[in-house]
Structure 1
Amino acid sequence: MIIDCHGHYTTTPPQHQAFRDAQLARLADPSLPVPRPERISDDEIRDSVENHQLKVLRRRGGDFMLFSPKASGMEHHVTDPATARAWATAGNDLVHRVATLFPAHFAAVCQLPQTPGGDLAGSVAELRRCVEELGFVGCNLNPDPSGGHWTSPPLTDPYWFPLYEAMSELGVPAMVHVSSSCNPAFHTLGAHYLNADTSVFAQLMGGAELFARFPALRFVIPHGGGAVPYHWGRYRGLAMREGRPDPAELLRENVFFDTCVYHQPGIDLLHRVIGADNLLFASEMLGAVRGADPATGIEWDDTKAYVDGLKLTDEEYAKVFEGNARRVYPRLDARLTAEGR
């Protein structure tokens, strides 16, 4: 089985964005009525997925995808907690419906209702609702709800502990994924995402105490880890200078990278540095980069073509394409096992 651990519902029916627009309009003018999500039929959801993510997944030889709300659309920089809760609930309910309509191909991962500096009680409550009531297998955690201004404490700070306690209890990992950038100095897809991936790994290098406290805590750093593989020597050297463990220690059971890297040399380097044990196949298809590389004819986000180009052993391919995802997402593994897969 080929499991893509990084998919977003970027093709939602227009009623979903209309609800968001109404939310933002009411924040600008509180005299407007509190908006409610518009009705979206099952057929509209089927059409939005069958002709997009599912069609491409099948064409490229994939079998299964972990599916979450659109990352840039999470918009955690909007500071109103009630708006954040309603928006996260609407997005999570939609991906739950996708997973219910296409159970052979999708499992749901939730958006959290984060706000800059906000209390995490709402995020814990939504995580529990999604996992315990709706069968979600993971969550997306935004380390920078401010949208490029980095006002939140590092992920090793006790601020985050209530969420980590719930994640550990429920047995779910977090993909550490920012949302849209509000800082004009940071392009959302070309800078903010990759800055965050890099920054988060640097934060977690000081996480020995964190993982001692929460040994079952698991993070997936997307987009190939940003600059981390390219500068692995820098991180090892800094760790030694600061008296910290070798960063490779993070890569045993707690920190993993996905393969959302859109050219062969990048995938080659990612594998050489990180190794097959801590790589999860992912594409983020129909997300950040669409179209094909004119030099190769390969679609930018057809990461399976690049992973195939690694020429791994059968055992390594089994880990990258399936085994690591099942190890990192134990609820996914339990579900697939129960289904005989």
Structure 2
Amino acid sequence: MIIDTHAHISGPMEMYEYFRGLAGTSGGGAAVGKFAFSDERLEESLKDHMVEVSGAGTDLQLVCPRPWAVPTGDRRAPLILEVTRQVNDMVARSVKLHPDRFVGLGALPQRAGVSPKLCAEELERCVKELGFIGFKINPDPGEGAAESPHMGDEYWYPLYEKMVEFDVPGLIHGGPYRFSREPELGYFVTEESVAGWALLRTPQVFKDFPNLKIIIGHGGGYIPYQVGRAKGFRIAEMARDPSRESLEESLHHLYYDTVLYNQESIELLIKVVGVDRCLFGSDKPANGSVIDPKTGHALNDIKQYIDAIEWLSEADRYAIYEGNARQVYSRLKE
């Protein structure tokens, strides 16, 4: 079985119109209206999604809301909560339409500079009522304004406590961005890298939460590429403090998905972090769905790259395609 652990749900035009209207509002109050489309309209909007995913050989997708769906930098707490509930409910509706192909991951009503403790109620609702098995976490709710501490800070502990309590992993994924200095792609990878490095440099997090499960999206950001430089700092730290764990040990506290659109990068990721820390992910359908003129395949047909890695054993491929996902997402049913 091929389990895609990194995917975003598709929706009808009414959903996009809702978010455009939301972006144009200001002041207090809740969200502007509600998602007003039938299950028939939702099903219609999923047709192309299903065709693309099936064509890539994927059996099951763990789907979450699009990264821009929750306006975490907005100051209107009621709006953020209402929007988050609506997008999570839409994911649940999609899962209900295709229970054999989709499993839900939720978004959280994160607010810039406000304790993640406020996410607890929605997290619990999604697990108990909607059957979600994990969550997408925005490491920068301030949308580039640096209003929330890095993910190694105790600021995040209330969220980590809930994640461990319900045994739900968190996929670290960048969200909306309010500034024009950095393009979306760079911002996503930068924030995921910052989050990952913060957790790698703060061993106390995994001492306090040994069962915490975190996946760094988009191949771990810059982590695999810069691990040698980080090792230099870690060796110096270990010389000063012999109790400090090695960088290799720290890397194994985290998991990483394969949302990298070329074979060389995926090979590097696997070699650096190990087969047992890699989860298959495609981010399909998205901007990587374009056809590469050199191969005739979509860039985000990730399976083609993994299948072409000759040094992977069949056991390795099983771990990446299915086994690791089942280990990390323990609520995933057989």
The TM-score, its normalising length taken from structure 1, stands at 0.91
1:18-57 matches, within 5 Å, as 18-27=17-26, 35-52=32-49, 54-57=50-53
| Cα deviation digits, residues 265-290 of structure 1 (max 9, x gap) | 11121122122110000000122433
- In the alignment, structure 1 residue 149 sits paired with structure 2 residue 148: no
Q: Is the 8 A contact 2:11 2:45 kept in 1?
A: yes
Paired residue for 2:206, among 191, 208, 211? 211
Deviation at 1:180, TM superposition (A): 2.2
Q: Distance in 2 between matches of 1:38 and 1:5?
A: 26
Call closer, same or farther: CA 1:213–1:318 in 2, change over 3 Å.
same
Q: Distance in 2 between matches of 1:95 and 1:187?
A: 27
| SS of structure 2 residue aligned to 1:107 | strand
1:117-136 matches, within 5 Å, as 117-136=113-132
Aligned to 1:320: 320
Counterpart residue type for residue 196 of structure 1: E
Aligned to 1:339: none
RMSD: 1.7
Q: Distance in 1 between matches of 2:307 and 2:212?
A: 30
Deviation at 1:294, TM superposition (A): 2.2
Q: Distance in 1 between matches of 2:24 and 2:18?
A: 10
Q: Is the 8 A contact 1:15 1:37 kept in 2?
A: no
- In the alignment, structure 1 residue 171 sits paired with structure 2 residue 170: no
1:88-237 matches, within 5 Å, as 88-189=84-185, 191-237=186-232
Q: Is the 8 A contact 1:173 1:217 kept in 2?
A: yes
Counterpart residue type for residue 314 of structure 1: E
Unaligned runs of 5+ in 1: 337-341
Counterpart residue type for residue 317 of structure 1: R
| Cα deviation digits, residues 53-91 of structure 1 (max 9, x gap) | x21111111100000000133332222111111111110
Unaligned runs of 5+ in 2: 239-243
Q: Distance in 2 between matches of 1:266 and 1:72?
A: 26
Deviation at 1:33, TM superposition (A): 8.6
| Cα deviation digits, residues 31-53 of structure 1 (max 9, x gap) | x996331322111111111322x
Counterpart residue type for residue 101 of structure 1: L
Counterpart residue type for residue 2 of structure 1: I
Alignment length, in residue pairs? 328
Q: Is the 8 A contact 2:106 2:132 kept in 1?
A: yes
- In the alignment, structure 1 residue 13 sits paired with structure 2 residue 12: yes
| SS of structure 1 residue aligned to 2:289 | coil
Q: Distance in 1 between matches of 2:61 and 2:234?
A: 35
Q: Is the 8 A contact 1:23 1:83 kept in 2?
A: no
Deviation at 1:136, TM superposition (A): 0.2
Q: Distance in 1 between matches of 2:36 and 2:140?
A: 32
Q: Is the 8 A contact 1:72 1:179 kept in 2?
A: yes
- Percent identical: 32
Q: Is the 8 A contact 2:30 2:79 kept in 1?
A: no
Q: Distance in 2 between matches of 1:272 and 1:216?
A: 24
Deviation at 1:321, TM superposition (A): 0.2
Q: Distance in 1 between matches of 2:258 and 2:31?
A: 41
| SS of structure 2 residue aligned to 1:242 | helix
Counterpart residue type for residue 155 of structure 1: M
Q: Distance in 2 between matches of 1:44 and 1:34?
A: 21
Q: Distance in 2 between matches of 1:192 and 1:242?
A: 29
Aligned to 1:295: 294
The TM-score, its normalising length taken from structure 2, stands at 0.93
| SS of structure 1 residue aligned to 2:171 | strand
User: Which deviates more from structure 2 when the two are superposed, residues 64-73 or residues 117-126?
Assistant: 117-126
| SS of structure 2 residue aligned to 1:320 | helix
Aligned to 2:60: 64
| SS of structure 2 residue aligned to 1:27 | coil
Q: Distance in 1 between matches of 2:25 and 2:195?
A: 34
Counterpart residue type for residue 85 of structure 1: L
User: Which deviates more from structure 2 when the two are superposed, residues 98-107 or residues 234-243?
Assistant: 234-243
Call closer, same or farther: CA 1:225–1:156 in 2, change over 3 Å.
same
Q: Distance in 1 between matches of 2:215 and 2:273?
A: 13
Q: Is the 8 A contact 1:5 1:325 kept in 2?
A: yes
Call closer, same or farther: CA 1:40–1:91 in 2, change over 3 Å.
same
Call closer, same or farther: CA 1:176–1:34 in 2, change over 3 Å.
closer
